[in-house]
Amino acid sequence: MRITLQIHDNVVVAIEKIKGVSDSAIELELPQGSLLFENGLNLKLLRKEAEKVGKSVVFVTIDDLGKSLIQALDAPLPRDFVPKEVALGTATVKQKRKLPSFPKISLKLPALAANYKAIVLTMIGVGIAAGLFYLTLWKVPKARVEILVNSQPLTKSVELKAVKDASTNAEKRIIKGMIAQTVVTEKLSLAATGQKLVGDKAAGKIKIFNKTDAEIKLKEGGEVTYKEHSPDLVYKLTGDVTIAARTEQTPGDPSSPLIPGETTVGVTAADIGDDYNIADDKTLEVSDYKQSELVAQTDGKMAGGSSETVSVVTQEDKTNLSSKLLEQIAQGSQKSLDAKLGTGQKRIAGSEMHSVVSEEYSADVGDEIEVIELTQEVGVTALTYFADDLNKLVDELVKGFVPDGFVLSSEQREVGVEVLGNTDSSTLSAAEADLQVTLKTLVVPSINEADLKKELAGKGMPEAQRILGSTRNAKSYEIKFSPNIPFFQRMPQSVENIELVIKKN
């Protein structure tokens, strides 16, 4: 089983990791620069503790210093004799080979070996004691100090002006304003309200009778009128026509009946509609002539006249559609604008300005259509500020109201912003806006936590209590040690092991 230690793992941590595995054979990997290489006794201590719980440990590392310590750890101790086995047939005889002796020093070798063992054991003991002392004073003990302080509520309102591209200035009560802008494109359709009569004109033929004694010529477009309908129905000649003069039935006989001159010509109704579809043999009057001179009569039925009312676009429709779509975009553009804002950037409500960039209608005035659609592109701008700038400015403006020895709390803080609007005494536009800002928070005693930790580090309980008891505006305090060892209650030497918690009543 391989266990890999971290560079800052100490002896205590390593022992716990060894105890935490079930395998009896453990390969312990030590990283380069491991804290355990600071003292070679650390490795001996680890191996000894592992043996106590029935486990064997093999050390592995790429660190040069670590390799040297491991080699020194595994080196055999000097002995007087080395056993040797000699095989003689099927029997094995153990013999001792005596080391070469020298007359002057042979009697001192055993003493040197004993002294070496004693020195090694002493060094191990000192190392263990030093390690335990280090852990006891610096690494293991922890303390949590809770200080209850008196807090006071603070509520203040100030008036500020956000000004485009200005610099934040507490003396002038100005906060820097910035323009945010976006372009919104939307569509809207409305029913056309105009009406128009459309259809076909009736057409047919008429006979024109000339009762005069002279030939009469009529031009194309000349009018004949049917007056038996209200209103009168007017038809127009489709071509030039000449009507011969009247004649006597019996020439030379003054008493002979007169026969009118007659001709047939095509006509078209002056307007659309089925009212112009009049029947055969209907009498019509010829424009500019008396009926005693010229008279007309339908030659067959007039046909083809029809009409219907259709919707058409009016200028009012276009104007109304543009206004409604702009209003719709204005109401919904805040979301599009807010999406463009940076972190902590706030839009001033009501400062938005909208301008039409382009418009495209699906129909023009007079077009026969039931629904007209508009695609409108609108530019939107608004005045903004950053919340961080506002908080700093408000803190600067209200610091004169903070009692001596207190500071503004960063917790339980509420900043409300009210837009004053565009009135005789206030301004609201995309360039500047008047704001009323209300701060609701707490003021708490000013305690330098870093300095207090340094002052407490390493102190006994009486001195720590004296320091905490003299802390200004502290109502009460409580110290909790971990581990809680009776008769050894001192503040940790390391400030990192002191947790300071400020509580407000």
Task: Quickly list DSSP for 218-230.
Answer: E-TT-EEEE-SSS
Q: What is the pLDDT of residue 141?
A: 81
Amino acid at 126: V
- Is residue 160 a contact partner of residue 435, using CB atoms and an 8 Å limit? yes
Give the strand pairing for 216-218 and 241-243.
antiparallel
User: What is d(CA 316, CA 123) in angstroms, rounded to the nearest whole number?
Assistant: 104
Please, what is the end-to-end C-alpha distance for the chain in angstroms? 54
Q: What is the pLDDT of residue 158?
A: 92
Residues 4-45 have pLDDT tens digits of 888 878 888 888 888 888 888 888 888 888 888 877 788 888
Task: Say which residues have a Cβ less than 8 Å from residue 187's Cβ, sequence separation at least 6.
Answer: 325, 373, 374, 375, 376
Q: What is the pLDDT of residue 488?
A: 66
Give the strand pairing for 247-248 and 81-88.
unpaired
pLDDT band at 179, cuts 50/70/90? very high
- Lowest mean pLDDT: which of 150-154, 210-214, 359-363, 492-496? 150-154
Average pLDDT value for residue range 432-438? 94
Q: What is the pLDDT of residue 134?
A: 54
Q: What is the pLDDT of residue 429?
A: 92
Positions of E strands within 273-322: 283-286, 294-298, 306-312
Residue spans of the domains in the chain: they are 2-74, 195-310
CA angle 189, 192, 197 (to 5 degrees): 155
Please report how many Cα atoms fall inside a 13 Å half-sphere around the Cα of residue 349, on the Cβ side. Answer: 7
| pLDDT over threshold 80, residue 334 | yes
Please report how many Cα atoms fall inside a 13 Å half-sphere around the Cα of residue 274, on the Cβ side. Answer: 3
Place of tokens 């930790």: 453
User: What is d(CA 221, CA 215) in angstroms, rounded to the nearest whole number?
Assistant: 19
Per CATH, the architecture of 195-310 is what?
A: Beta Barrel (2.40)
Q: What is the pLDDT of residue 64?
A: 83
| pLDDT over threshold 50, residue 102 | no
Total length of the chain: 505
- Measured CA distances, 22 to 17, 51, 353 (Å): 10, 14, 73
Q: What is the pLDDT of residue 462?
A: 87
Q: Which helix (H) or strand (E) holds 10?
A: none
The DSSP secondary-structure symbol of 487 reads T
Q: Tell me what percent of the residues of the chain surpass a pLDDT of 70.
A: 87
| pLDDT over threshold 70, residue 356 | yes
Residues 113-147 have pLDDT tens digits of 455 666 767 777 776 766 665 555 556 788 999 98
Average pLDDT value for residue range 102-120? 52
Task: Say which residues have a Cβ less than 8 Å from residue 86's Cβ, sequence separation at least 6.
Answer: 92, 93, 94, 95
User: What is d(CA 449, CA 146) in angstroms, rounded to the nearest whole number?
Assistant: 12
Residues 439-471 have pLDDT tens digits of 998 888 888 889 988 988 988 888 888 888 888
Residues 243-291 have pLDDT tens digits of 999 988 877 777 788 899 999 999 999 999 999 999 999 999 999 999 9
Q: What is the pLDDT of residue 135?
A: 56
Q: Quick check: helix, strand or coil at residue 415?
A: strand
Residues 398-414 have pLDDT tens digits of 888 888 778 888 777 88
Average pLDDT value for residue range 420-428? 89
| pLDDT over threshold 60, residue 53 | yes
Average pLDDT, the chain: 85
Both structure tokens of 483:
């581990």
Q: What is the pLDDT of residue 481?
A: 87
